[in-house]
A and B are shown apart, each in its own frame.
Chain A
Amino acid sequence: MATINLVDLKKSYGNVPAVKGVNLSVADGELIVLVGPSGCGKSTLLRMVAGLESVTSGHIEIAGRDVVKAEPAERDIAMVFQNYALYPHMTVRGNLEYGLKNRGTPRTEIDRRVNEAADILEIGQLLDRKPRQLSGGQRQRVAMGRAIVREPAAFLFDEPLSNLDAKLRVQMRVEIRKLQRRLKTTSLYVTHDQLEAMTLADRLVVMNGGLVEQIGTPTEVYDHPATLFVAGFIGSPPMNLIPTSALGTDGANGLPAGTDIVGVRPDALLIQRPEGPCIALEATADLLEPIGGESHLHVKLEGSGQAIILSVPGRPDIAESAHLTIYARPSELHPFSSQTGRRTDTVAKS
């Protein structure tokens, strides 16, 4: 149980900066998800907290103690790796015990913790097997067990689910969330999967190019993306980013000064006129993709040719190249400036 504080944390490989100054405070018991595209520095950040990468400048505090110079084992953290990194020649029990043995934990205490973790993760019957005799999901559980038995101040997860198949991933995601709620251990979780990020996080940290773009709860980040990058990254299908010039004078009215790009979620665009004030755009249908309960409708705006995705309920009967009018409520528009890359209305909470 502990807080984690990162103060102006930087990392460079030679002259190449990987993390360009990150400030983050993680509250006790909070699950923070670091999300971003490949190469955004999220894994590097996590590995710096773990002590597996040296710190170029800045501070890391775990439980109020500056750990920048401390060895990984001295930081009171446990890490779950993407490929699990189980010791292949040891049994599951051996894997769970190894860290505790190295710390000189008494035998009875080791047994108690191992059995407790095995109960929580339901791997009791696997304790005498070797990792190669386990399935992917079971290995994942063992890797988590190895973290749990340490009873650390913080868990660090480095894309722990990316080696699992889609179904198992959803299942393990739920389990990780439940487990973290139950143990109330401060956690940092790295993923590139924004769905995983949205569902797991108490708070999200969206990173890009070594910098934090936005920190907030999943709802905040989804409803009020602070930057153009976040707007495009979070949400599937991604938010439509339309230049104001394509909206016509009608649509561009009433937007804050400096706005030249407007973001609209695909599900905020309607093909029937809603009640109340709205803007209308003329468009031509391009392609309709039914995906079950809803459909993705690809259209092109007339005049500018701007491509837009709508997500519409059911399976509307729209022929390709049909002409239609799409509507959006002004409250659903996210105004951005392409110069600064930021929102132009009230500054989003961060």
Chain B
Amino acid sequence: MVENRPWLSFITHLVLIVGVVIVVFPVYLAFVASTHGSGDFLRGLVPLLPGPYLIENYGRMLTEGISTAGAPPLWIMLSNSLIIAIIIAVGKIVISLLSAYAIVFFKFPLRMVAFWIIFITLMLPVEVRIIPTFAVVANLGLLNSYVGLTLPLIASATATFLFRQFFLTIPDELMEAARVDGAGPMKFFRDILLPLSRTNIAALFVILFIYGWVQYLWPLLVTTESRYYTVVMGIKRLAATADTEPLWHLVMASVILAMLPPVLVVIFMQRLFVKGLVETEK
């Protein structure tokens, strides 16, 4: 829609700019806070320009952490979060690719029942089934382990559903041509279906990585040892100090660091799936 109305484009830009400011300002403030000394943010006058303690604050958080708040060095929590987010994203994608493949391309008894059972689990996110799930994980002895942290979050109806919808758009002839060409089921999956799903996989990876990264409640429940803490729950621990003021400059440094990986994933994968979108134009 191209319209030549100056006042209209002025208003639309104004709305956009105000929106951006509302979203970006708190992030900027967090960054500013993370570069100041310990007392600067408690004086009542909030500084709006970065201070001189950038390297000191970030260095301290990454290597030492705040032992009084019971938080290990940030790099441990960051790598925990990274491992968990990747396991969850990859696990969800692998499982849902395979189950969608089974549901769409194979005829087996109770196929639709299986699909609906998967679909119904959409109504049962972790928060709803948290106590029984915790009981199962605890009885299996999986507390304080990566398996316990990730496994209950992996089964994914959303991704299965998305892949199913995508697979349904693939013409039957493609599978038939592959059969005539001598490709068995797994070969068809690997040689044809997987390359065609590349864009969808990239898009889902972004969403699922962030889903895994921001998990809070579940890691809080199943971890008691600090070496399994994730960064999101770590931040909560840093901020919730009992008798003293929270060390806001250090909390904010953690926040900024915790924000980086998802941002990087979005930027990196975005390029990949935009490229994919342009390429697979049919």
Contacts and interface: CB of A to CB of B under 8 A. Distances in A.
Contact of A81 (B176, B183, B187): B176
A85 B280 contact: no
A72 B282 contact: no
Contact of A102 (B171, B182, B280, B281): B182
Contacts of B171: 83, 85
B180 interface: yes
Given A82-B173, A83-B171, A102-B187, A89 B180 contact: no
A51 B179 CA distance: 9
Interface stretch (B30-38, B145-153, B191-199): B191-199
B267 interface: no
Interface string B176-188: 1111111100010
B282 A73 contact: no
Most buried by B among A78, A82, A88: A88
Contacts of B179: 51-52, 71-73
Given A98-B191, A132-B282, A85 B174 contact: yes
Contact of A85 (B173, B182, B183, B196): B173
Given A81-B173, A83-B173, A102-B187, A89 B182 contact: no
Given A88-B196, A89-B280, A132-B281, A99 B182 contact: yes
Nearest to B195: A89
A339 B211 CA distance: 72
A99 B181 contact: yes
Given A79-B176, A82-B173, A88 B280 contact: yes
Interface in B190-230: 191-192, 195-196
A198 B183 CA distance: 35
Nearest to B280: A88
A103 interface: yes
A207 interface: no
Contact of A88 (B182, B183, B282): B282
A50 interface: yes
Interface string A73-91: 1000111011101111100
B181 A52 contact: no
A99 B180 CA distance: 8
A73 B180 contact: yes
Interface in B123-179: 171, 173-174, 176-179
Contacts of A98: 178, 181, 183, 191
Contacts of B183: 73, 98, 102
Most buried by A among B171, B176, B280: B176
B176 A73 contact: no
Nearest to B174: A85
Most buried by B among A77, A83, A98: A98
Contacts of B282: 88, 132
Interface in A83-141: 83, 85-89, 98-99, 102-103, 132
A328 to B, nearest CB: 47
Q: Which 10 A-B pairs have the closest CB atoms?
A: A73-B182, A99-B181, A85-B173, A102-B182, A85-B177, A89-B195, A81-B173, A72-B180, A72-B179, A79-B180
Given A72-B180, A98-B181, 20 more contacts: A52-B180, A72-B179, A73-B180, A73-B182, A73-B183, A77-B180, A83-B171, A83-B173, A85-B171, A85-B174, A86-B177, A87-B178, A87-B191, A88-B282, A89-B280, A102-B182, A102-B187, A132-B281, A132-B282, A146-B181
Interface of B: 171, 173-174, 176-183, 187, 191-192, 195-196, 280-282
21 contacts: A50-B180, A51-B179, A52-B180, A71-B179, A72-B179, A79-B176, A83-B173, A85-B174, A85-B177, A87-B174, A87-B177, A88-B280, A88-B282, A98-B178, A98-B181, A98-B183, A98-B191, A99-B181, A102-B182, A132-B281, A132-B282
